[in-house]
Amino acid sequence: MLMEFLPLLIILLLAVFIGVFVVVLGSTFGPKRPGQRKNSPYESGMVPYGPAKRRISVRYYLIAVLFILFDIEVVFLVPWAVVVRQIGVPGLVFMIIFVLILEVAHLYAWKKGALEWD
Amino acid sequence: MIDAALIWEWIIKSLILIIFLTVGFMYVTVYERRFLARIQSRIGPNRAGPFGLLQPAADGLKLIFKEELIPANADKFIFLLAPIITVIPALIVLAVIPWGEAMVIFGRQVNLFISDVNVAVVYIMAVTSISVYGITLAGWSSNNKYALLGGLRATAQMISYELALGLAFMGPVVLAGSLSMVDIVRAQQSSLWYVVLQPAAFLIYFFASIAEINRAPFDMPEAEQELTAGYHAEYSGMKFALFFMAEYIKMIAISTIGATLFFGGFDGPFVDQIPWLGPIYLLAKVVIYLGVLIWVRASWPRIRYDRLMQLGWKIMFPLALLNVIITAVVVVLVN
């Protein structure tokens, strides 16, 4: 059963090799003449000021939290989608109830303004 | 059960896929530049080799000999790791796609897929979401404000559209009753292509996948005019080439997945009699799909970031959910 995943492991190892190989290739052949000006972060030609790692807007955090909630919903839909033919009407009704409950959460987040960006 | 010949078969097939993707990446860049140039009444790169066909080789050679900068105060290890993490999922995601019927090559029955796992759709969803990490880490480790903003935007955008994308996969899965890509292609051979049966799922897949790979018109994370290049602003040389490679290979990947889920994959006339036609049909569908992606980039302006997020959360996600439920209701009632 798990044998099907062995070829995926092989291609994963090959892909890792390619990625590392390309990085090594670039750092082997390129010239290395670093300087203070050259190494400073690019800020459209201005002298950079302040740290780059600033506080970030809470919106991004909200989106990430909402994503986890609804991605789990998608994950629950996956096995159900495969067997929906076999389980018939009861399975369908249960899933519609489940989706409706989560849709209440979605509408709540929507009305609370968690999906707005201004 | 597992003998040396089988392992060699896997290694050779993996190598063929990876070489196909790297060469494909080179020629997708030429395809895009030439096609875009024609749409804009220009000629495009035509000096290196006949019709500019050696242009990617020239670009690659140039990038190998370029100096690579690591900005001061950057997190060096993560900075080096990020392009590798970005390129790996792009290279391995197509391992579950069938290219054609089983063939006899050198007296050996060879299946034209690397692995027919029974959770192929979940594998695709899982692997594509890994590439978010590469982009986030690239933006974070660069010690650059543009890169950080680009990385944040890319992360928020990609995770938002992942929902719609995952739900768009569910339409074909409900119809085929299987998560295996081979079974989904077989189901389309015995009925219609799923673009006919699932037009809403296809449209959602089409736009959500463009957003997922940060391409125009959803390329806010790398908007040149305001973020200079987004998360890869500080990358140069071959490390930049890896991001570029990942982006174009992801284009090939979403075209192939789209062609397999909605356009019958390797299915086409006479494919059951002449198995060699399978990979050719798949390739033709991928090339047409890529052409449409380039056409979309040439035709539509970039959409504003707040509208982009609202499109994902308020329109695409509910529509995709509705599509899955309606499909399931119809399937159960017809049964």
Say what the pLDDT of residue B224 is: 66
| Pick among B25, B91, B205 to test the A interface (most A CBs inside 10 A) | B91
Digits of tens for pLDDT over chain B (335 positions)?
667 777 888 888 888 888 888 888 888 988 888 888 888 888 888 887 787 788 888 888 888 888 888 887 778 888 888 889 988 998 888 888 888 777 777 767 777 777 788 888 888 988 888 888 888 888 888 888 888 888 888 888 888 888 888 899 988 898 888 888 888 888 888 888 888 888 888 999 999 888 888 887 887 766 666 677 777 778 877 888 888 888 899 999 999 999 988 888 788 777 777 777 888 888 899 999 999 999 998 888 888 888 888 888 888 889 999 999 998 888 888 87
| Pick among B84, B153, B161, B182 to test the A interface (most A CBs inside 10 A) | B84
**CA–CA gap between residue B193 and residue B227 (Å, rounded):** 41
A52 → closest Cβ in B13, B143, B166: B143
Cβ B159–A117 below 8 Å, yes or no?
no
The enclosing H or E element of A64 equals helix A58-111
Between B153 and A48, whose confidence is greater? Answer: B153
CA atoms within 13 A on the CB side of A101: 7
DSSP result, B253-283: HHHHHHHHHHS-TT--TTTTT-TTHHHHHHH
Q: pTM for the full model?
A: 0.88
Cβ atoms of residues B120 and B181 within 8 Å = yes
A42 → closest Cβ in B18, B70, B233: B233
Domain boundaries, chain B: 66-334
Q: How far is A88 from chain B (nearest CA, A)?
A: 6
Does residue A14 fall inside a structural domain? yes
Does residue A60 fall inside a structural domain? yes
Cβ B314–A43 below 8 Å, yes or no?
no
Q: Which residue, among A58, A54, A50, A22, has the nearest Cα to B140 in the 3D structure?
A: A54
Cβ A42–B144 below 8 Å, yes or no?
yes
Q: How far is B265 from chain A (nearest CA, A)?
A: 20
Alpha-carbon separation of residue B177 from B122, B256, B262 (angstroms): 14, 21, 15
Give me B39's structure tokens. 């749409």
Q: Which residues pair with B103 in a beta bridge?
A: B110
Between A94 and B277, whose confidence is greater? Answer: A94
Cβ B237–A15 below 8 Å, yes or no?
no
User: Nearest chain B Cα to A118, which residue?
Assistant: B306
**CA–CA gap between residue B9 and residue B14 (Å, rounded):** 9
Cβ atoms of residues A10 and B14 within 8 Å = yes
* Domain around A67: 7-111
Give this complex's ipTM.
0.85
The CATH number of the domain where A53 resides is what?
1.20.58.1610
Cβ B68–A27 below 8 Å, yes or no?
yes
Alpha-helical segments (H) within chain B? 4-39, 55-64, 76-92, 120-141, 145-176, 181-190, 194-197, 199-212, 224-227, 237-262, 277-299, 305-310, 317-334
Say what the pLDDT of residue A54 is: 75
Does residue A2 fall inside a structural domain? no
Q: Is the per-residue pLDDT at A38 higher than 80?
A: no
Cβ A53–B70 below 8 Å, yes or no?
no
